[in-house]
Homo-oligomer: A and B are copies of this chain.
């Protein structure tokens, strides 16, 4: 498989020995300094790599050259030693790539509360530097934990004779929830940009993508999304040209949406993806709260798994979302490639054909459309079903 990779970026993903067999260390490298923006977990318990990166980005967001990522160990709840190890990862990476230490960011994902095996990681960084190549595949593999599929999305955009490319890799699987649970996403692009405008684009996009997905309601200590722009494209900067900004934002948002949906679809034990579309809410904030509440509900997730058109649970989840609204105006529809069916009208049961509902819910991609009929607020969120397999995976993860 070929990927459209932005100019000037290289990737590596190797096995250094944190995991038994699979790749567990990745480097993303840019030949030129990148304007970079990051969004980090809102969890009060932040892992050392995040604390380290937030400090670096305060002063060096215009000059990032590389990100080093390990999987299998989150370097979280590891205190001062964890912070020293995060810094050591950056130092080692800077050394082997011959770039300034302040131009390297660090990321970790995996088990909480265990110190990193630094000898393995340092040898891994040396090895990874020798394997840098244009394909992002090995890097995308190396950031996985309980993911079952690699997550890569890219887009090449032509505009007025020039072009730019955006490519992202991500990992998710457990603990995926609004407010960015354990998920990592790294997006690279060759547009010219400032850290400030990247930050604006990233926050706007994260709010409608990664913050609108739910696997299990837990928010991790390690989430981060980074966007790096190395300016290799010939086009004017996105901060200088509104048309280019618009195209860039659309591409970035498309990449983030696709990665977010891949994350949900590959949620631990998940068998179905469902999309919740809330329309006609009193305002957008209410729409977002309601959509997130529905995709986060264990009872809704279990009903989706059971292929049960249990519309009452969906209205109940809307009701406890924290948004204020008139429950007597709600219409609810279920949709899939097998058809569309109204299942509630004006907040009450709407007589429907149970056989038809079953047929629609047999699909592995389902839409729940809630028409609230009381304003212009709209939001979309994505969730996966809750299965016995999720419980099996998470009852035994650490040991």
User: Are B77 and A347 in touch, CB under 8 angstroms?
Assistant: yes
* A–B complex contacts, Cβ < 8 Å, 6 sampled: A77-B312, A77-B327, A77-B347, A115-B349, A303-B394, A308-B398
User: Are B44 and A318 in touch, CB under 8 angstroms?
Assistant: yes
Complex Cα–Cα for A230 and B167 (A): 70
Complex Cα–Cα for A278 and B114 (A): 24
Task: Report A217 CB to chain B, min CB distance, Å.
Answer: 6
Complex Cα–Cα for A77 and B347 (A): 6
Name A320's contact: one of B43, B78, B298, B324 (CB within 8 Å): B43
Which of A133-141, A151-159, A243-251, A385-393 has 4 or more CB atoms under 8 Å from chain B? Answer: A385-393
User: Are B218 and A297 in touch, CB under 8 angstroms?
Assistant: yes
A42 partner residues in chain B, CB cutoff 8 A: 320
A316 on the B face (CB < 8 A): yes
A46 partner residues in chain B, CB cutoff 8 A: 319, 327
A388 partner residues in chain B, CB cutoff 8 A: 388, 391-392
User: Are A112 and B313 in touch, CB under 8 angstroms?
Assistant: yes
Complex Cα–Cα for A398 and B309 (A): 8
3 closest A-B pairs by beta carbon, nearest first, are A112-B312, A306-B395, A45-B319
User: Are B398 and A44 in touch, CB under 8 angstroms?
Assistant: no
Closest to A42 in B: B320
Known: A306-B394, A308-B398, A388-B391. 4 other contacts (CB 8 A): A74-B312, A78-B349, A216-B299, A308-B397
Complex Cα–Cα for A309 and B397 (A): 11
Indicate whether A220 sits within 8 Å of B316 (C-beta atoms), given known contacts A323-B44, A348-B77: yes
A353 on the B face (CB < 8 A): no
Interface extent on A, as a size class? Answer: 35 or more
A306 partner residues in chain B, CB cutoff 8 A: 394-397, 399
Indicate whether A179 sits within 8 Å of B348 (C-beta atoms), given known contacts A305-B395, A308-B398, A394-B298: no
User: Are A45 and B79 in touch, CB under 8 angstroms?
Assistant: no
User: Are A319 and B44 in touch, CB under 8 angstroms?
Assistant: yes
A185 on the B face (CB < 8 A): no
Closest to A182 in B: B316
A344 on the B face (CB < 8 A): yes
User: Are A391 and B219 in touch, CB under 8 angstroms?
Assistant: no
Task: Report A391 CB to chain B, min CB distance, Å.
Answer: 5
User: Are A297 and B217 in touch, CB under 8 angstroms?
Assistant: yes
Complex Cα–Cα for A134 and B309 (A): 42
Complex Cα–Cα for A391 and B299 (A): 9
Name A113's contact: one of B45, B328, B344, B387 (CB within 8 Å): B344
A57 on the B face (CB < 8 A): no
